[in-house]
Amino acid sequence: MAKRTVNVKIKILSLIIATVMFVVALSSCGILEKGMYGTPGYGLEEIDNLVVKFLDVGQGDSILIMTPEKTMLIDAGLDGCGEQVVIECLKDYGITTIDYIIATHPHADHIGGLDEVIRYVDSVGCVYMPEIPEKIVPTSVAYRKFLESVLETDADVISPEPGETFNMDGAVITFMGPVKTFDDLNDLSIVVRLDYGETSFLFTGDCRKGPFKEVMKKGYDVEVDILKAAHHGAFNATDNKVFNAISPEWMIISCGIDNTYGHPHDEVVEMLVDSETDFYRTDYNGTITVTTDGETYEVTAERGKKNVAV
């Protein structure tokens, strides 16, 4: 597998050193210790083919992808969501290792809970994260804690090149973005396509419509069955051109109850209703699960009905 970032852990260490005064000022936040969550669960749930869980982490993102042999985690919501949501789900399936972690971009509502998960599991195989221009490297507590937890592992740390692909126990993972450097952390979100037989997913982080259209210009196949709404259903991420190009059968919107951003935006909900595209939203429906054998798929929600506009 090609590695775009060489000696990434050295870069990470230098970033931590560079922000040490900031860290001291906020030292009361503390660092979670490995093992504090106790023993894993007993594998109450079984994985036969592919299971994708869009976890209810409030106003944030977290997606757990599982096959019989491999596990991938894309983001982990805000601080506390790792322990309260992600780890509890891992216990349900008896999972104690994560083969792949994708930190789509370093905003707290996406990476805030990752350090908790990393310190809970026995091992992490690989961590994918975007390459951040020095002038916009975050100095947040969430980013510092995430970097420190990664340094404690033996995981490979990679900034993937667009077009890179690998096979995850029958699920084909393709990195599509970012295709260039941007000055906004949202626009640096890693964009990932997953194909499992005839069933396809697109995970977009907080990638806004401009950078996503750059992905489209590169000729990548963005049409999929199931779309994780970019930027929590914001219209600045999914306009009509983007939506029509992706043409999903289902959209999953991860957002918090009565969030101050108005997510999902009315324009996006109207597109879904007008196009008769099915959707679930975590604020209303809780955790949403997609199961597929590669030929057919089923979408279920923890509660409520589908296509709720308000």
Find the mean pLDDT for residues 142-169. Answer: 96
**Angstrom distances, CA of residue 66 to CA of 165, 254, 260, 282:** 17, 19, 32, 19
Q: Given the structure tokens 């990638």, which residue do they identify?
A: 207
- Strands 278-281, 288-292: pairing is unpaired
**Mean pLDDT (the chain, rounded):** 87
Give residue 262's pLDDT.
86
Give residue 150's pLDDT.
97
Give residue 28's pLDDT.
30
Find the mean pLDDT for residues 113-136. Answer: 96
Find the mean pLDDT for residues 266-295. Answer: 96
The predicted model scores a pTM of: 0.87
* pLDDT tens, residue by residue, 30-39: 322 222 223 3
Q: Given the structure tokens 């393709």, which residue do they identify?
A: 174
Give residue 15's pLDDT.
55
Give residue 310's pLDDT.
74
Confidence of residue 25 (pLDDT cuts 50, 70, 90): very low
Confidence of residue 23 (pLDDT cuts 50, 70, 90): very low
Find the mean pLDDT for residues 15-24. Answer: 42
Q: Which amino acid, one-letter code, is at 110?
A: H
Give residue 309's pLDDT.
87
Residues in CB range of 20: below 8 A, 6 or more apart: none
Give residue 99's pLDDT.
97
- Residue 98 CA, chain-centre distance (Å), reads 14
Confidence of residue 9 (pLDDT cuts 50, 70, 90): low
Give residue 215's pLDDT.
95
Q: Is the pLDDT of residue 20 over 80?
A: no
Q: Considering only CA atoms, which of 220, 221, 218, 242 is closest in space to residue 230? A: 242
% of the chain surpassing 70 pLDDT: 86
Give residue 11's pLDDT.
54
Give residue 45's pLDDT.
82
Q: Is the pLDDT of residue 14 over 50?
A: no
* pLDDT tens, residue by residue, 195-230: 999 999 999 999 999 999 999 999 999 999 999 999
Find the mean pLDDT for residues 25-53. Answer: 51
